Amino acid sequence: MFMTIKVKNILVSEIKCSNCEACCCSSEVMIISDTGVPEQHIYVDVYGNETMLRLDDGWCSALDRNTLLCSIYENRPWICREFEMGSNECINERVEKM
């Protein structure tokens, strides 16, 4: 008896905003600099640490659920700016969460 295992192999050159699954948008993102993130998207813990607010579905509150694009792209946190599309971190997030 044979078993079929589906494997998703996405080449780095194929990773684009248009086919992104927003995998990184469910990661915890600390706000470590002032980039203008609107207050309604900031979660402050009991120690005063600021992170991006995540909603009940586990995804960032700034993620547009229809387009899977960031609704505050110009004001996104520093960590999001450093998270390069197609980087090893990006690919690892996709493999882990898809």
Condensed to tens digits (0 to 9), the pLDDT of residues 51-70 reads 999 999 999 999 999 988 89
Burial class (CB in 10 A: 0-12, 13-18, 19+), 29: buried
Residue 74 inside a domain? The answer is yes
Identify the domain containing residue 68 by its residue range: 21-97
For residue 58, the 8-state DSSP code is S
Residue 35 inside a domain? The answer is yes
Residue 1 inside a domain? The answer is no
Query: What span, in angstroms and rounded, lies between the C-alpha atoms of 94 and 50?
Result: 25
pLDDT of residue 7: 45
Tokens at 14, concatenated: 């194929």
More confident residue, 90 or 31: 31
The b/e string for 73-98 (b: 16+ C-beta within 10 A; e otherwise) is eeebbebbeebeebeeebbebbeeee
Residue 49 has pLDDT above 80, yes or no: yes
Query: Pairing relation of β-strands 69-70 and 50-52?
Result: unpaired
Residue 60 inside a domain? The answer is yes
Instruction: State the pTM of this model.
Output: 0.73
Mean pLDDT of the chain: 82
Cα torsion 67, 69, 97, 86: sign: positive
